[in-house]
Structure 1
Amino acid sequence: MARNVCFISEELKPAVVMVIVQVASTGSNFMYKIAMANGMGIQTIILYKLLFATVFMAPIAFFTERNCRPRFTWMIALDGFLSALFGATLGNYLYAKSLSLTSATFVTAMFNLIPGFTLVLALIFRLEKLDVRNSAGKAKVLGTVLGSGGAMILTFVKGKKIKILSQHVDIIPLHNHASVPSNNVVGSLLALLSCLSFAIWLVIQTKMSHSYPCYSSTAVMCFTGSILTGVLAICTERELSSWMLGWDCRLLAVAYLGIVSSGLCVAAVFWSSMMKGPLFVSSFSPLGLVFTALAGSLFLKEELCLGSLIGSIIITIGLCFVIWGKGKEATASQDGETESRRDEVTDGSQAAPPIVPGQCTDYLTNGVHQQFKHEHVLQAQSSLPRID
């Protein structure tokens, strides 16, 4: 019984981590708005946040993974470059450009296509298994569709207005909002390309997380992304005022974006992607709309409508389907491996599980290889009389 409870708690850890990531990402959206409202350019914000993330993550990666970090190869360098290109530089640049050409509501709705893109890419690169003949595969497809559909309802369907609080705090004064020319066709295309870029990033980071520790992977991505974004910022941000930082909300915004958003959150996404796969991670992206709608109603005088409430419920149901499908797959896989190894123990041919060179002991404590080690002990005890 206690063993089953421990297994369930281990299975819930990635889900809890991803919910925390979405809450932190909601705060990042506000920090972006605060920085832009105070005159900072988009590329300057991205550059500073990547620099903060590099300074924050590099010491953590050095001290926690210095005794077990694998040799830095050209393949790892290529994965780090591609991860920085699609996740740190290109994705954010396309997202910012699409925001400047069309409405934020439309761009946010387009971003709910990321789970669909990720599912297709994960299937192409064989990072996800999809068998619609069993209940787990059907649940993954249904959960992804419900999550994206619920996010669309939350964004576009209004309905009756729901008043949460009688008083609101507007953290961004209206006179700081700048008007920009709109081009819905180009903006929609850029938003679509941004979704594809982030989906590619999720697939790349899943591959990289299996060959390089998560803290070091995050530091490499942020450092490489700061170089790429720096070149882009020099070419696009010509005004000196957009580069200036002081002891004000500008510094607070980029520090939060760097340490929390590009540092801790990216490391958490790396870990969750390693544990559950890119589809599981991307399926939580619609949940950010729920937190954004609630926070916007409380702090930005945005009104919460009935459509937002209905969309939030549908998103939650979709997430439950995805988590249930992934959990059922993990349980079936573990049962199959345990049964196979018990047969090997009976034949006397059980060998010690392989240990990947260069992996950290503490890094693997809650990881996949630790499950193999735990199963090895359980199998050795299987020949003893059962007392439970």
Structure 2
Amino acid sequence: MIYLDYQATTPLAPEARDAMLRWLDGPDGTGFGNPHSPHRMGRQAAAAIELARDRVAALFPAGGKVIFTGSATEALNLAIRGSGKAGSVAVSAIEHAAVLDTAEALGQARVLDVAQDGLCGAAQDLPKDCRLVAVMQVNNEIGTIQPTVDWHRKAKEANALFLVDAVQAYGKIEVTHADMIAISAHKFHGPKGVGALWVRDGVDLTEQQTGGSQEGVRSGTLSPALIAGMGAAAKEAKERMAQDAEHVEELWNRARDLFSDWTLNGSEDARWHGNLNIRRDGLDVARLMSDCRDIMFSAGSACASGSGRPSHVLKAIGLSDKQAKASIRLGFGRYTKIEDIEQAAKSINAAAKEQGL
């Protein structure tokens, strides 16, 4: 099988796996302690969590704290719900459902326009009662890199907080200029089931799930294994960021050559080049995926797969329902080989040709 779905999840890094094993020891080991217990095993587990916290924080701006959560979705909910009750939440039209649906559930969503190139420009007005602006750094479906520096400045001028969904950016490009930043470990070669919210010093949140307040504003026993894996993945991402980016650029250039007669969705330049979202008008994507079942790629965002609805991101950039449903997303990264891209392109293009395209 060839795996080309890095936006859905990334392969677990060996370094992350090794870090996790120490904290999965059973009755014959000492790594299974509760990190909130005062005895020796608990203190050892707590120390592992603090080491991971430092490693995760190393890729965030200085002057803030890392709150571990069960996912980026939880982190985004904590940021949106916990940062205030009164006022509007301005969100780009291509935000992840974790942002859009939460703002809408609160009755506070004010949707910001997105251009055909997939960019949410900061020249548009914010509502007068705006308390929070949420613009993601790298879009999960089309990979476009948003002007978050401009939006941060705009939010500050409006006396609003600025939230960045950096799930697809963390560990790949620099993450800066925000009041709160949400990430997910399994999107940068860490384990599933753990995320984090970075909160700038001076930003106060209210707890959204009560219990033990283990993370201050987030209750629940922390998993030393998952968090240690996340920390190891963050450390590895920081050390090899330039190397990974160079490899992705090589993969991107080869993929663009091999899919040169497909139409690219979104900007080619203002984009993370590990995301290739392309379309062929008239394409039956379900049939294509069946014919190429040994290639793991997406017909859209994995978080919304199976809904039957056209991608809200592709609709937001002006595509028709037919064009959106004729699009595929190929995602690649650290462990992808050039040969994988070449074999996938051969199979996908042949399958498309069988459809007369």
- TM class, shorter-length: under 0.3
More helix by share: 1
Larger Rg: 1
